[in-house]
Amino acid sequence: MLKTFKLGGVHPPENKLSADSEIVELPLSPTVFIPVGQHIGAPATAVVKKGDQVKTGQLIARSSGFVSANVHSSVSGTVTKVDLVPDSGGYPRVGVVIKVEGDDWDDQIDTSPDLKSEISLTGPEIIEKIKEAGIVGMGGATFPTHVKLVPPRGMKFEMLLINGVECEPFLTSDNRLMIEKSDEIVVGTRLLMKAMGVDKAFIGIENNKPEAIRKMEKAVNGISGISVVPLKVKYPQGGEKQLIKAVTGREVSSGALPVSVGCLVSNVGSAFAVYEAVQKNKPLFERVVTVTGKSLRNPSNVKVRIGTPVSDLILFAGGVPEDTGKIISGGPMMGKALATSDVPVTKGTSGIVLIPEKQAARKPQLACIRCSRCTNACPMGLEPFLLMTLSENSLWERLEKEMVLDCIECGSCSFSCPASRPLLDYIRYAKAKVGQLVRSRKH
């Protein structure tokens, strides 16, 4: 029996259209816009100004707090402005606009394609390197990796889990990365293990990616401590807590961090970025993005520089189809709909999904018939129907008691509702409200 998590979960149609298309490099865009806040935490502070010449891989914004991350230039050229530009939500964010001139890489970066597998650095040195390179969780959560690697006082890591689940429909970037860069990911895994001081690591991959499982198994062959764990397909297995449950059987309790059960979860993309940062001296300034959609001409996996406009990405994959009704940054279950394709690719952009107009509109909302599908689908064992009603009536204290803050916003409830009720919309709002309440109580 394949492993999986126990509570809830749904099976949205997989639609992995681009699973077999190899990663290709996107030609450079004429200008890039690199936001300084691409991660959870304090936005970095820009260290370049208008008119500065930058090289590819040069630091352009420095981490500005404990939870923050460096940002590097993804291209070489001239900084044309450091200004507010609307982000994917329409709210203005500070970013650095660079006019691309050639592709002149920083001298420190080792550009040779050879695999460098011997580890010469110590744990703290590795963490320092990761911090320098500005690596964040690349599955979409964008939490700075170097912060995660240092356990809170009194706690200890026991094992590392590498998240190769990619449970979101449509997305295939992690899958392709595991197939094409399996050895590098394993080196990255070993680096992370050393940084954490553990000797055990599991790479969790859903069994709808047989090629990735095969390649990764081959790559870990002969390396002690790392094993590949094939998992039964079920959304949202890529959720941190769900993956830990699936692989180890341990449950992270409400409000606790994964380290409370001795685990750390890292995305395969992050593991690859760690390899590049530590072994090749290359900061995080490019990533693999899946550009896909049922009407798109060439669904593909593209290696793209951070800051490239999403529109260039779509153009590369065949242009925006006539019937597009929605452009999503991320996967269709948790991604964010974009109002315009002029926003840049960031460290957390795992995919761009184009949804045809017909499927973009929601169905009209009906009355709840208490079919309990949302409750059965919730991977956290919550009661979405109840949370929504409480949220509609602004009963924040009650919501806190019903553990609304445990919600991981996976969308399984809204997905499964036969009455098309916007469960997650209300729950997400309730989470924000209850979060405010809890914070105000602390002060």
Partner 1 sequence: MNAPIIYTVVTLVAIGTTAAVILYVVARKFMVYEDPRIDTVERALPGANCGGCGYAGCRAFAETCVKENNLEKLFCPVGGNEGMEEVAKILGLEAVKKDPRVAVVRCNGTCEYRPKINRYDGVMTCAIVSSVYSGETGCQYGCLGCGDCCVVCNFDAVHMNPVTGLPEVTDEKCTACGACVTACPKNLIELRKKNARERKIYVACRNEEKGGIARKACKVACIGCGKCFDVCAYDAITIGNNLAFIDSDKCKLCRKCVAVCPTDAIIEVGFPPRKIQSETAETSQVN
Partner 2 sequence: MNKLLTISPSPHQHTDDSVRKIMYRVLLALVPALIWSVIYFGMDAVRVTLLAVLSCVAFEYLIQRFVMKVQTTVTDGSAALTGLLLAFNVPSNLPWWIILMGSFFAIAIAKLSFGGLGGNIFNPALVGRVFLLISFPAQMTTWPVSRMAETDAVTAATPLGILKGGVLSGRPLQELSGNLPGIDNLLLGNMGGSLGEISAALLILGGIYLLWKKIITWQIPVSILLTMAVYAGIFWLINPEKYIDPLFHILAGGAILGAIYMATDMVTSPMTGKAQLIYGIGIGIITMTIRLFGAYPEGVSFAILIMNGFTPLLNSMIKPKRFGGKQP
Q: Please report, as ranges, the residues that interact with partner 1 according to CB under 8 A.
A: 86, 88-92, 339-340, 360-362, 422, 425-426, 428-429, 432
**DSSP letters of 100-111?**
E-S--B-TTS--
Identify the residue among 94, 337, 395, 405 touching partner 2 (CB under 8 A): 337
Q: Please tell me what DSSP assigns to residue 154.
A: T
Q: Residue 414 binds which entry of partner 1, partner 2, none, with Cβ cut-offs from 5 to 8 Å by kind?
A: partner 2
Least separation in angstroms between residue 339's CB and partner 1 is 4
Nearer residue to partner 1 within complex by CB, 339 or 366: 339
Answer yes or no: are the C-beta atoms of 353 and 295 closer than 8 Å.
Answer: no
85 near partner 2, rule: CB under 8 A: no
In sequence order, what E strands does 254-310 have? 263-267, 286-293, 300-305
Answer yes or no: are the C-beta atoms of 420 and 363 closer than 8 Å.
Answer: yes
Tokens 């925006």, residue located: 320
Answer yes or no: are the C-beta atoms of 259 and 160 closer than 8 Å.
Answer: no
Cα distance between residue 115 and residue 94, in whole Å: 37
Region near partner 2 per CB under 8 A, out of 40-48, 66-74, 281-289, 378-386: 378-386
Residues 303-322: x where in contact with partner 2 by CB under 8 A, - otherwise, as a string = -----------------x--
Residues 189-228: x where in contact with partner 2 by CB under 8 A, - otherwise, as a string = ----------------------------------------
Compute the C-alpha angle 314/135/16, nearest 5°: 40
Residues ≥6 apart with Cβ < 8 Å to 167: 206, 233, 234, 235, 236, 237, 238
Compute the C-alpha angle 443/64/195, nearest 5°: 100
Written as one letter, the residue type at 343 is V
109 near partner 2, rule: CB under 8 A: no
Cα distance between residue 205 and residue 209, in whole Å: 7
405 near partner 2, rule: CB under 8 A: no
393 near partner 2, rule: CB under 8 A: no
Nearest by Cα to 316 from 285, 354, 348: 354
Q: Residue 371 binds which entry of partner 2, partner 1, none, with Cβ cut-offs from 5 to 8 Å by kind?
A: partner 2
Nearer residue to partner 2 within complex by CB, 133 or 334: 334
Least separation in angstroms between residue 362's CB and partner 1 is 5
Nearer residue to partner 2 within complex by CB, 131 or 245: 245
Residue ranges binding partner 2 (CB under 8 A): 7, 10, 12-13, 169, 241, 245, 251-254, 256, 320, 324-328, 330, 332-340, 353, 355, 357, 359-363, 366-373, 375, 378-383, 385, 401-403, 406, 409, 411, 414-420, 422, 424-425, 428
